[in-house]
Structure 1
Amino acid sequence: MRDKIVAGNWKMNKNLEEALQLVNELKVANVDLTPKIIVIPSFPFINSIVNTLENSPIKVGAQNCSTQDSGAYTGEVSASMLKSVGAQYVVVGHSERRSYFNEQNEGLAEKVNQCLSNGLTPIYCCGELLEERESNNHFKIVESQINEGLFNLSESKMIDTVIAYEPVWAIGTGVTASPDQAQEMHAFIRALIAQKYNQQVADSISILYGGSCNPKNAKELFSLPDVDGGLIGGASLKSVDFMAIANSF
């Protein structure tokens, strides 16, 4: 049975006081929920949030990591550092990182390897721009991102990954992929994995939807056969909304 996951990517939001208030609200509300809950704050707050969530089933992730183990890379944060402060997941290749910081598939493959080598689970993001969908290149783009970012992994390492499909045209826009569009791409990604490895591997990997998922549309999206949860942006910044999404299972 694949993990059902609801992960909240806070992006560059919240100060420490606000972050701790939010996780305390989530900690109280998280009672016997079906999905695995992950909060993904900014780097400075990870350790404080890990400590606050001690004895809670809520997991903690980071929004990025370096391609390097250590060294003279001012401003970078390594996977081993994230592991040492209690992070368990790392978002790799979010569309904002690809767009604003020109991250490419080759470098993202290195980040995935860094995560796995340090006992962290990468949440590898893929997805197409609006013009790529409108030109009917969306499958080609996503296939390239998956192939170049993940398919260097062994079968055992591949099983330890999570994938998030995020149609870039639906992130922060209020526009959501239709259920048919979401299911079609999730099924396509799973078929790529089956073709590269085998069906058992494909069926074991959680594929999340990320793109303006909210309390109103989460239930329909999460009911799709190949959608295993969500990578949630803006709706993860309010505990009521985030838990409503988690309860959509």
Structure 2
Amino acid sequence: MRIDFLTLFPAMFEGVLGQSILKKAQEKNAVHFNVINFRDYADDKHQNVDDYPYGGGAGMVLKPQPIFDAVEAIKKESETKPRIILVCPQGVTYTQKKAEELAKEEHLLFICGHYEGYDDRIREHLVTDEISIGDFVLTGGELPSMVIADSVVRLLPDVLGNEDSPVLDSFSSGLLEHPHYTRPGDFRGMKVPDVLLSGNHKFIDEWREKESLRRTAERRPDLLNNYPLSKKQKQWLKEFEK
């Protein structure tokens, strides 16, 4: 997979892309990152990328020309057609399902805005997806684009090492993930559930499924509205209510 970031602040990406799973993914050639300063594509001698909004108002608006030229340059040299993502508060709320969808693409291109907003011609004529990571406003699109990239890259084949890891994640199954424990079995009087020490994998799997359902019912009951509950899971929910 190839992931491009169009940004005015390339240095923001250095620490994130060069650490942990994202670093390992690059070393395995599962992903290739390009961080591009779209100021380099500005066509005036001062390299201006923003201007005052027509009609007046606060703040500055990103001009279409630098971003159009940057996207067109990337498309021209790319072997694949990119999925162009605009990270903005007006976009659809990001979900694990969307991450799984994007992980199937060969090329993602993130447009990271700053200032008051974008010239809307960027939104209308360049972008394939508008995505928001939540109902709040940040100073720019760099952090959201890195969050989305991280969630996508970890789903790529062989990146995590254990093929079951992304399948068992919260939201991937439709439920929140079950609790986890490790050594020691008894820490300051707080003990690991006996079933996890039993060695009986059938019982362990059932315990994990039940605890996943319990945690979802307690913390995110809205996720159960469209979840296809089995007969056994419906019985567990009745037990929880009691």
Task: Provide TM-score, normalisation by structure 1.
Answer: 0.28
Between Structure 1 and Structure 2, whose CA radius of gyration is higher?
A: 2
Task: Provide TM-score, normalisation by structure 2.
Answer: 0.29
Higher relative contact order (CA 8 A, sep 6+): 1
